[in-house]
Protein backbone atom coordinates (compact mmCIF):
# COMPACT_ATOMS: atom_id res chain seq x y z
CA UNK A 1 0.00 0.00 0.00
CA UNK A 2 1.40 3.38 -1.02
CA UNK A 3 2.11 6.45 1.10
CA UNK A 4 -0.95 8.26 -0.34
CA UNK A 5 -3.29 5.54 0.91
CA UNK A 6 -1.54 5.37 4.29
CA UNK A 7 -1.88 9.14 4.78
CA UNK A 8 -5.55 9.04 3.74
CA UNK A 9 -6.41 6.18 6.09
CA UNK A 10 -4.55 7.81 8.98
CA UNK A 11 -6.51 11.07 8.86
CA UNK A 12 -8.83 11.55 11.89
CA UNK A 13 -11.86 9.30 11.56
CA UNK A 14 -15.13 11.16 12.09
CA UNK A 15 -18.34 9.35 12.95
CA UNK A 16 -21.63 11.24 12.87
CA UNK A 17 -23.95 10.88 15.89
CA UNK A 18 -25.69 7.53 15.79
CA UNK A 19 -23.35 6.10 13.11
CA UNK A 20 -21.37 3.07 14.37
CA UNK A 21 -17.58 3.21 14.12
CA UNK A 22 -17.60 0.16 11.85
CA UNK A 23 -19.58 2.18 9.30
CA UNK A 24 -17.15 5.11 9.52
CA UNK A 25 -14.21 2.71 9.09
CA UNK A 26 -15.99 1.04 6.18
CA UNK A 27 -16.58 4.42 4.50
CA UNK A 28 -12.94 5.47 4.88
CA UNK A 29 -11.59 2.25 3.35
CA UNK A 30 -14.28 2.26 0.64
CA UNK A 31 -13.41 5.84 -0.28
CA UNK A 32 -9.73 4.91 -0.55
CA UNK A 33 -10.74 2.15 -2.99
CA UNK A 34 -13.22 4.24 -4.98
CA UNK A 35 -10.79 7.13 -5.41
CA UNK A 36 -7.98 4.88 -6.60
CA UNK A 37 -5.74 5.37 -3.60
CA UNK A 38 -5.88 1.58 -3.29
CA UNK A 39 -6.13 0.17 -6.79
CA UNK A 40 -7.61 -3.15 -7.96
CA UNK A 41 -5.72 -6.13 -6.58
CA UNK A 42 -3.95 -4.12 -3.86
CA UNK A 43 -3.14 -6.11 -0.73
CA UNK A 44 -4.81 -4.49 2.27
CA UNK A 45 -2.92 -3.98 5.53
CA UNK A 46 -3.62 -6.49 8.29
CA UNK A 47 -6.50 -5.91 10.71
CA UNK A 48 -4.01 -4.74 13.33
CA UNK A 49 -2.32 -2.32 10.91
CA UNK A 50 -5.66 -0.93 9.73
CA UNK A 51 -6.72 -0.47 13.35
CA UNK A 52 -3.54 1.53 13.97
CA UNK A 53 -4.11 3.71 10.89
CA UNK A 54 -7.79 4.33 11.65
CA UNK A 55 -7.28 4.51 15.43
CA UNK A 56 -10.04 1.99 16.13
CA UNK A 57 -10.11 -1.48 17.64
CA UNK A 58 -9.40 -4.64 15.69
CA UNK A 59 -13.03 -5.68 16.25
CA UNK A 60 -14.26 -2.53 14.49
CA UNK A 61 -11.86 -3.17 11.60
CA UNK A 62 -12.96 -6.80 11.29
CA UNK A 63 -16.64 -5.79 11.08
CA UNK A 64 -15.84 -3.07 8.51
CA UNK A 65 -13.89 -5.56 6.39
CA UNK A 66 -16.75 -8.05 6.58
CA UNK A 67 -19.09 -5.39 5.16
CA UNK A 68 -16.56 -4.50 2.44
CA UNK A 69 -16.39 -8.18 1.43
CA UNK A 70 -20.19 -8.43 1.38
CA UNK A 71 -20.39 -5.38 -0.87
CA UNK A 72 -17.83 -6.73 -3.32
CA UNK A 73 -15.10 -4.13 -2.71
CA UNK A 74 -12.71 -6.54 -1.00
CA UNK A 75 -11.83 -10.20 -1.60
CA UNK A 76 -10.21 -12.54 0.94
CA UNK A 77 -7.63 -15.14 -0.06
CA UNK A 78 -7.14 -17.86 2.52
CA UNK A 79 -3.66 -17.80 4.02
CA UNK A 80 -2.67 -14.65 2.13
CA UNK A 81 -4.88 -11.74 3.20
CA UNK A 82 -7.51 -9.37 1.85
CA UNK A 83 -7.22 -7.61 -1.49
CA UNK A 84 -9.10 -4.84 -3.26
CA UNK A 85 -11.43 -6.52 -5.75
CA UNK A 86 -10.15 -6.71 -9.32
CA UNK A 87 -13.45 -5.24 -10.55
CA UNK A 88 -15.70 -3.08 -8.42
CA UNK A 89 -19.42 -3.95 -8.17
CA UNK A 90 -21.48 -2.73 -11.11
CA UNK A 91 -25.02 -1.48 -11.26
CA UNK A 92 -27.64 -3.94 -12.41
CA UNK A 93 -29.80 -4.65 -15.45
CA UNK A 94 -32.66 -6.92 -14.37
CA UNK A 95 -36.00 -6.04 -12.82
CA UNK A 96 -36.85 -7.59 -9.49
CA UNK A 97 -39.51 -7.74 -6.78
CA UNK A 98 -39.41 -6.57 -3.12
CA UNK A 99 -37.92 -9.00 -0.62
CA UNK A 100 -41.13 -9.59 1.27
CA UNK A 101 -42.54 -10.99 -1.99
CA UNK A 102 -39.41 -13.09 -2.56
CA UNK A 103 -40.08 -14.98 0.68
CA UNK A 104 -43.85 -15.20 0.32
CA UNK A 105 -45.31 -18.69 -0.23
CA UNK A 106 -48.79 -20.25 0.00
CA UNK A 107 -49.78 -21.21 3.54
CA UNK A 108 -47.04 -19.12 5.18
CA UNK A 109 -47.34 -15.74 6.85
CA UNK A 110 -44.71 -13.14 6.05
CA UNK A 111 -44.42 -10.02 8.21
CA UNK A 112 -41.91 -7.25 8.82
CA UNK A 113 -40.70 -6.02 12.17
CA UNK A 114 -39.38 -2.48 11.80
CA UNK A 115 -36.03 -1.80 13.49
CA UNK A 116 -35.68 1.80 12.35
CA UNK A 117 -36.73 4.22 9.63
CA UNK A 118 -34.33 7.16 9.76
CA UNK A 119 -32.71 9.86 7.66
CA UNK A 120 -28.92 9.66 7.57
CA UNK A 121 -25.87 10.60 5.52
CA UNK A 122 -25.30 8.23 2.58
CA UNK A 123 -22.09 6.20 2.85
CA UNK A 124 -19.49 5.73 0.12
CA UNK A 125 -21.12 2.42 -0.84
CA UNK A 126 -24.74 3.56 -0.67
CA UNK A 127 -24.46 6.97 -2.35
CA UNK A 128 -23.71 5.99 -5.98
CA UNK A 129 -26.35 3.27 -5.86
CA UNK A 130 -29.15 5.68 -4.96
CA UNK A 131 -28.00 8.59 -7.10
CA UNK A 132 -26.61 10.99 -4.49
CA UNK A 133 -23.18 12.20 -3.40
CA UNK A 134 -21.52 10.68 -0.31
CA UNK A 135 -22.72 12.50 2.79
CA UNK A 136 -26.04 13.60 1.30
CA UNK A 137 -29.17 12.75 3.24
CA UNK A 138 -30.90 9.46 2.49
CA UNK A 139 -33.54 7.19 3.97
CA UNK A 140 -32.58 3.98 5.74
CA UNK A 141 -35.35 1.51 6.50
CA UNK A 142 -34.13 -1.43 8.54
CA UNK A 143 -36.41 -4.41 9.14
CA UNK A 144 -36.46 -8.03 10.18
CA UNK A 145 -38.45 -10.34 7.93
CA UNK A 146 -40.38 -13.06 9.76
CA UNK A 147 -42.00 -16.17 8.36
CA UNK A 148 -44.68 -17.71 10.59
CA UNK A 149 -43.28 -15.62 13.45
CA UNK A 150 -39.65 -16.77 13.02
CA UNK A 151 -36.95 -14.30 11.84
CA UNK A 152 -35.42 -15.43 8.57
CA UNK A 153 -33.77 -12.28 7.20
CA UNK A 154 -32.44 -8.83 8.05
CA UNK A 155 -33.21 -6.12 5.49
CA UNK A 156 -31.68 -2.67 5.03
CA UNK A 157 -33.11 -0.44 2.29
CA UNK A 158 -31.83 2.93 1.08
CA UNK A 159 -33.21 5.67 -1.15
CA UNK A 160 -32.44 9.38 -1.62
CA UNK A 161 -34.16 11.75 0.80
CA UNK A 162 -35.74 13.48 -2.19
CA UNK A 163 -36.91 10.30 -3.96
CA UNK A 164 -40.51 10.52 -2.78
CA UNK A 165 -42.59 11.66 0.17
CA UNK A 166 -42.52 8.36 2.05
CA UNK A 167 -43.77 7.63 5.53
CA UNK A 168 -43.53 4.50 7.61
CA UNK A 169 -46.72 2.49 7.72
CA UNK A 170 -48.57 0.23 10.12
CA UNK A 171 -48.19 -2.64 9.67
CA UNK A 172 -44.70 -1.98 8.28
CA UNK A 173 -43.87 -2.70 4.64
CA UNK A 174 -40.64 -2.75 2.70
CA UNK A 175 -39.34 0.60 1.52
CA UNK A 176 -39.62 -0.61 -2.06
CA UNK A 177 -43.31 -1.38 -1.59
CA UNK A 178 -43.79 2.12 -0.13
CA UNK A 179 -42.02 3.67 -3.12
CA UNK A 180 -44.25 1.74 -5.47
CA UNK A 181 -47.28 3.01 -3.58
CA UNK A 182 -49.17 -0.24 -4.08
CA UNK A 183 -48.78 -0.16 -7.86
CA UNK A 184 -46.27 -1.62 -10.29
CA UNK A 185 -43.27 0.62 -11.05
CA UNK A 186 -40.74 -0.39 -13.69
CA UNK A 187 -37.38 -0.38 -11.93
CA UNK A 188 -34.37 -1.88 -13.66
CA UNK A 189 -31.80 -3.59 -11.51
CA UNK A 190 -29.89 -6.58 -10.29
CA UNK A 191 -29.59 -8.86 -7.28
CA UNK A 192 -26.09 -10.07 -6.45
CA UNK A 193 -25.58 -13.01 -4.09
CA UNK A 194 -22.71 -13.67 -1.69
CA UNK A 195 -21.86 -15.60 1.48
CA UNK A 196 -20.89 -14.15 4.84
CA UNK A 197 -21.49 -14.57 8.57
CA UNK A 198 -24.21 -12.90 10.60
CA UNK A 199 -21.90 -10.68 12.67
CA UNK A 200 -22.44 -9.32 16.17
CA UNK A 201 -24.83 -6.49 15.27
CA UNK A 202 -27.20 -8.55 13.09
CA UNK A 203 -27.13 -11.86 14.95
CA UNK A 204 -29.50 -10.85 17.81
CA UNK A 205 -32.05 -9.47 15.33
CA UNK A 206 -32.02 -12.72 13.36
CA UNK A 207 -31.88 -15.04 16.40
CA UNK A 208 -28.65 -16.68 15.19
CA UNK A 209 -25.04 -16.81 16.39
CA UNK A 210 -22.61 -14.16 15.17
CA UNK A 211 -20.54 -16.78 13.34
CA UNK A 212 -23.47 -18.49 11.63
CA UNK A 213 -23.32 -18.50 7.81
CA UNK A 214 -25.75 -16.26 5.93
CA UNK A 215 -26.62 -15.48 2.33
CA UNK A 216 -26.28 -11.81 1.41
CA UNK A 217 -28.49 -10.53 -1.42
CA UNK A 218 -27.64 -7.01 -2.58
CA UNK A 219 -30.33 -5.45 -4.73
CA UNK A 220 -29.67 -2.30 -6.80
CA UNK A 221 -32.43 -0.64 -8.77
CA UNK A 222 -32.55 2.21 -11.26
CA UNK A 223 -35.45 4.33 -12.50
CA UNK A 224 -35.30 5.73 -16.04
CA UNK A 225 -31.62 4.79 -16.18
CA UNK A 226 -30.72 6.64 -12.97
CA UNK A 227 -29.53 4.99 -9.74
CA UNK A 228 -32.47 4.96 -7.35
CA UNK A 229 -32.65 2.28 -4.64
CA UNK A 230 -30.39 -0.12 -2.74
CA UNK A 231 -31.23 -3.01 -0.44
CA UNK A 232 -29.09 -5.53 1.41
CA UNK A 233 -30.93 -8.61 2.63
CA UNK A 234 -29.03 -10.97 4.95
CA UNK A 235 -30.75 -14.35 4.91
CA UNK A 236 -30.48 -17.02 7.61
CA UNK A 237 -30.01 -20.67 6.71
CA UNK A 238 -33.41 -21.48 8.22
CA UNK A 239 -35.03 -19.61 5.33
CA UNK A 240 -34.42 -22.74 3.28
CA UNK A 241 -34.69 -22.79 -0.50
CA UNK A 242 -34.87 -19.34 -2.03
CA UNK A 243 -36.42 -18.61 -5.42
CA UNK A 244 -35.81 -15.19 -6.94
CA UNK A 245 -38.12 -14.24 -9.81
CA UNK A 246 -36.32 -12.03 -12.34
CA UNK A 247 -39.40 -11.04 -14.34
CA UNK A 248 -40.57 -7.82 -15.95
CA UNK A 249 -43.20 -5.94 -14.01
CA UNK A 250 -46.06 -4.50 -16.08
Q: How far apart are CA 29 and CA 5, in angstroms?
A: 9
Provide mean pLDDT across the span 187-195.
80
CATH of residue 112: 3.40.1410.10
Domain that holds residue 155: 94-239
Last residue of some domain: 84, 106, 121? Answer: 84
Percent above pLDDT 70 for the chain: 88
Residue 190: the pLDDT is 79
Residue 5: the pLDDT is 83
CATH of residue 74: 1.10.10.10
DSSP category for residue 239: G
DSSP category for residue 11: S
Indicate whether 144 pLDDT > 90.
yes
pLDDT band at 247 (very low <50, low <70, confident <90, very high): very low
Q: How far apart are CA 214 and CA 178, in angstroms?
A: 26
Residues 137 and 54 in one domain: no
Provide mean pLDDT across the span 131-148.
94
Task: Answer yes or no: is 186 within a domain.
Answer: yes
The model's pLDDT over 62-120, given as tens digits with 9 standing for 90+, comes to 999 988 888 888 998 888 899 998 876 644 334 467 788 777 777 889 999 999 999 99
Residue 33: the pLDDT is 87
Residues 201 and 102 in one domain: yes
Q: How far apart are CA 90 and CA 192, in angstroms?
A: 10
Residues 128 and 231 in one domain: yes
Tell me which of 190 and 50 has the higher pLDDT.
50
159-164 long-range contacts (CB < 8 A, ≥24 apart) are: 159/130, 159/228, 159/229, 159/230, 160/122, 160/130, 160/131, 160/132, 160/136, 160/228, 161/119, 161/132, 161/136, 161/137, 163/130, 163/139, 163/228, 163/229
Residue 16: the pLDDT is 65
Residues 150 and 194 in one domain: yes
Q: How far apart are CA 210 and CA 226, in angstroms?
A: 36
Alpha carbon 140 to its chain's center:
11
Task: Answer yes or no: is 244 within a domain.
Answer: no
pLDDT band at 143 (very low <50, low <70, confident <90, very high): very high
Residues 75 and 98 in one domain: no
Amino acid sequence: MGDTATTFLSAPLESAPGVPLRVAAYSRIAQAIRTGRMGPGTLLPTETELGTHLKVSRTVVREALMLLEEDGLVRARRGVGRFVADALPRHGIERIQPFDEVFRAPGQQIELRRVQAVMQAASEFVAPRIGVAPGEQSWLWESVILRDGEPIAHLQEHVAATAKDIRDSAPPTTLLAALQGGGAVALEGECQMGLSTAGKSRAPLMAVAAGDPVLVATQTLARAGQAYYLAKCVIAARAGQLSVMQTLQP
